[in-house]
A and B are shown apart, each in its own frame.
Chain A
């Protein structure tokens, strides 16, 4: 079976090359047969990669320990679901997974556009297939998942595999990688469309309309992936944080920042025909950041808490990135005059300029994160000394950037397109501004002195009021016109322009997440070695170690501390953090106990026993739950924005009528 798998990957590689050659040649020689055959080849690639993946997955599920990948990443005792997720649990498998996702995306693109964009689809197919070819080279020649274990040329099986790291045997972690991959891989599609339209010198922005949904879905997957990763770190790793500016985390953030900038700046092109070059640059940059992120997490260029394979694939990525970036730059420069802006900026106080600054700041933050992540490499190249920048550097820079972006989120909708009169500015700013100011004064009076926290809370309220007012004003005018109640009118309003109001909901999600981030300024931490019966105070909680238990089962040995929690004289029950050692992998893990409430989390980690004392790490994290609530709001908002607008649909219909009429006129 494994030979069939390896063969399938090899054949897929050949077919992908054919797809590139066929579609380019077909386009140049105007040979429809070639073009269609290249599109069929895309389906063929999908079929072959699916076969290969199915063989690998079934080997994982049945425990075929002759295959080295299976022996390394699964074992007999693992639950079925984690045997399946071992598909993307290791280097070779995850790259095959990448290929499979890419081929699926490509097949969907070819299918949904089989009657559309005939003039530049061949190039889209060629670009998708080129990326596919690159990954299939890795799958076939560099890190094949079908490597067998052998002793003296004799294929052998090991009795049991190493198993998946127990830290990763956690539901959020099982779906975190596929989410991120879906997001990473998905940006290939807008990129391919952008390049296709650039190569064929398309005048309009058809590529943007076609890929708008793709971009949003992809962005949604990336957001989910990042938040799931953060949630996993918080709930499982036991250090109480959710983000540490680790290179691997940064790798996932970079394309997200680029994608966010792109989602905003395409609106400028759609509405005003501006920033065409910029959009090309952004979509390319985002795509290459996705590839770069994959490279960063696998090549070991920058050391990180996450382990990396010491494999030769780094070189391949560098070559691919270099070629791709060079080709893109050449294309954009060569066709610069096709990307002329149709209108100009008129005023600093306008919607356009708020988009512009949003982009500037997002890009700046993207660059800053990239700089910080690669600084060890850069400094080694420049001065010979490997220097790393740590968490504080990132925070120092990213907190002001984040706050400025939050501020723009609020003022953007208040500015009109083109220019804003000072009168309307005063009117629009009055309520949000007054509300934010009052909140800051109240917080100051309550004794809060943290500068950034004050600003952040002020901005959060400012943006929240702005968004609420947008919804209120719009639905009030609808309810007045069509005699609906306000709630119905709000639904109607959202349905009429899902993109705009869905976007506001996403902004609301961001505001809620910022509330959660800001809570981090007031974290309380303590570590104590406590005898049974001893107690400590943290925040308003009184923690007492009641007992320490220990035991073992088939899978792991464990110790747990029963800690009684009392708040303001009222007992809140017993929390039982646990520490385990898994027998198969000798991996210690900590099962933290968390009491989650909207205002604050009490988070207790049991680090182990030290003599006759239990080492207890306790934390109070104010407002941290709002990050997860905000993330859910963000997902909901994005889904709303994906629903077709009611008004748009009607608009599309009138457009069709217009075309027929023109057609009739021509016939006459």
Chain B
């Protein structure tokens, strides 16, 4: 039975290391999904945790200042000001009316500072049945970001 002991030890070491790696990183990399309504009720907790907030990009709200892109997320008629200062370029799918997810932290100034923005790729699987053109007016990147 000695050799099975060896196997057991090796397996335990490997699985143990993996579990350690998985749990050690969990605290730093977890992000809480919140709606804008929940965010408003979080109190001081809102400033501590890493958050992910979703919503539609408000009409005419995309505004570029240097390396910071500001926009407004709208969810159930509530607005949230977001300032994106991440290093990655905003995705092509990010535009007025698109559904977007912003990752980052809530600032004391009432602005949500996002380090990552994802926009739903309205491509492969259309979300709304029935077709119909998007209602947003045509936007051109130079106008959208300047």
B108-146: which residues lie under 8 A (CB-CB) from chain A? Answer: 118-131, 133-134, 136, 138-142, 144-146
**Which residues of the partner chain A approach B24 to less than 8 Å between Cβ atoms?**
396
**Quick check: is B10 within 8 A (CB to CB) of the other chain?**
yes
Once A167-B121, A167-B123 are accepted as A-B contacts, the answer to whether A615 and B92 lie under 8 Å apart by CB is: no
**Quick check: is B78 within 8 A (CB to CB) of the other chain?**
no
**Which residues of the partner chain B approach A588 to less than 8 Å between Cβ atoms?**
92, 95, 139, 141, 144
Tell me the complex Cα distance, A588–B11, Å.
50
Select one of A149, A353, A400, A610 contacting B131, CB under 8 A.
A149
Give the segment of A455-463, A568-576, A579-587 that binds chain B: A579-587
**Which residues of the partner chain B approach A364 to less than 8 Å between Cβ atoms?**
14-15, 18
Q: How far is the CB of B121 from chain A (nearest CB, A)?
A: 5
**Quick check: is A386 within 8 A (CB to CB) of the other chain?**
yes
Q: How far is the CB of A316 from chain B (nearest CB, A)?
A: 16
**Which residues of the partner chain B approach A607 to less than 8 Å between Cβ atoms?**
89-90, 141, 145
**Which residues of the partner chain B approach A72 to less than 8 Å between Cβ atoms?**
126, 131
Residue of B nearest to A379 (CB): B30
**Which residues of the partner chain A approach B48 to less than 8 Å between Cβ atoms?**
none
Select one of A303, A307, A396 contacting B125, CB under 8 A.
A307
Tell me the complex Cα distance, A388–B130, Å.
32
**Quick check: is A605 within 8 A (CB to CB) of the other chain?**
yes
Once A90-B126, A168-B123, A400-B21 are accepted as A-B contacts, the answer to whether A529 and B92 lie under 8 Å apart by CB is: no
Report yes or no: A306 in contact with B31, Cβ–Cβ below 8 A. Answer: no
Tell me the complex Cα distance, A72–B93, Å.
18
Report yes or no: A387 in contact with B139, Cβ–Cβ below 8 A. Answer: no
**Quick check: is A331 within 8 A (CB to CB) of the other chain?**
no
B67-96: which residues lie under 8 A (CB-CB) from chain A? Answer: 67, 87-93, 95
Report yes or no: A71 in contact with B122, Cβ–Cβ below 8 A. Answer: no
Report yes or no: A345 in contact with B3, Cβ–Cβ below 8 A. Answer: yes
Tell me the complex Cα distance, A588–B92, Å.
6
Interface of B is mostly: mixed
Once A364-B14, A385-B32 are accepted as A-B contacts, the answer to whether A305 and B145 lie under 8 Å apart by CB is: no
**Quick check: is A210 within 8 A (CB to CB) of the other chain?**
no
Tell me the complex Cα distance, A305–B122, Å.
9
Tell me the complex Cα distance, A298–B131, Å.
18
Once A168-B124, A389-B30, A588-B141 are accepted as A-B contacts, the answer to whether A605 and B18 lie under 8 Å apart by CB is: no
Q: How far is the CB of B65 from chain A (nearest CB, A)?
A: 9
Q: How far is the CB of A371 from chain B (nearest CB, A)?
A: 7
Report yes or no: B32 in contact with A386, Cβ–Cβ below 8 A. Answer: yes
Select one of A89, A376, A390, A590 contacting B103, CB under 8 A.
A390
Q: How far is the CB of B23 from chain A (nearest CB, A)?
A: 10
Report yes or no: A308 in contact with B127, Cβ–Cβ below 8 A. Answer: yes
Report yes or no: B92 in contact with A237, Cβ–Cβ below 8 A. Answer: yes
Q: When each residue 53-65 of chain B gets 1 if its CB lies under 8 Å from chain A and 0 otherwise, what string results? A: 0100000000010
**Which residues of the partner chain A approach B133 to less than 8 Å between Cβ atoms?**
162
Q: How far is the CB of B140 from chain A (nearest CB, A)?
A: 5
Select one of B4, B30, B54, B87 contacting A303, CB under 8 A.
B54
Tell me the complex Cα distance, A310–B129, Å.
9
Tell me the complex Cα distance, A231–B125, Å.
21
Once A68-B131, A347-B3, A581-B141 are accepted as A-B contacts, the answer to whether A397 and B25 lie under 8 Å apart by CB is: yes
Q: When each residue 262-301 of chain A gets 1 if its CB lies under 8 Å from chain B and 0 otherwise, what string results? A: 0000000000000000000000000000000000011000
Tell me the complex Cα distance, A259–B103, Å.
34
**Which residues of the partner chain A approach B125 to less than 8 Å between Cβ atoms?**
90-91, 297-298, 306-309
Residue of A nearest to B54 (CB): A303
Most buried by B among A307, A356, A375, A401: A307
Once A72-B131, A396-B25 are accepted as A-B contacts, the answer to whether A307 and B95 lie under 8 Å apart by CB is: no
Report yes or no: A307 in contact with B67, Cβ–Cβ below 8 A. Answer: no
Report yes or no: A610 in contact with B122, Cβ–Cβ below 8 A. Answer: no
**Which residues of the partner chain B approach A89 to less than 8 Å between Cβ atoms?**
124
**Quick check: is A416 within 8 A (CB to CB) of the other chain?**
no
Report yes or no: A309 in contact with B127, Cβ–Cβ below 8 A. Answer: yes
Select one of A149, A306, A348, A527 contacting B7, CB under 8 A.
A348
Tell me the complex Cα distance, A399–B125, Å.
32
Select one of A158, A305, A347, A611 contacting B118, CB under 8 A.
A305
**Quick check: is A165 within 8 A (CB to CB) of the other chain?**
yes
A-B contact pairs, 30 of them (CB 8 A): A73-B126, A90-B124, A91-B126, A164-B123, A165-B121, A167-B121, A167-B123, A168-B123, A237-B91, A238-B92, A298-B125, A306-B121, A306-B124, A309-B126, A310-B128, A347-B3, A353-B7, A361-B14, A390-B29, A393-B29, A396-B24, A397-B25, A400-B17, A525-B88, A529-B66, A581-B141, A588-B92, A588-B139, A607-B141, A617-B89
Q: Which 4 A-B pairs have the closest CB atoms?
A: A165-B123, A386-B33, A608-B141, A393-B29
Q: What 5 additional pairs, Cβ within 8 angstroms, besides A388-B30, A397-B18? A: A237-B91, A393-B25, A401-B18, A527-B87, A609-B146
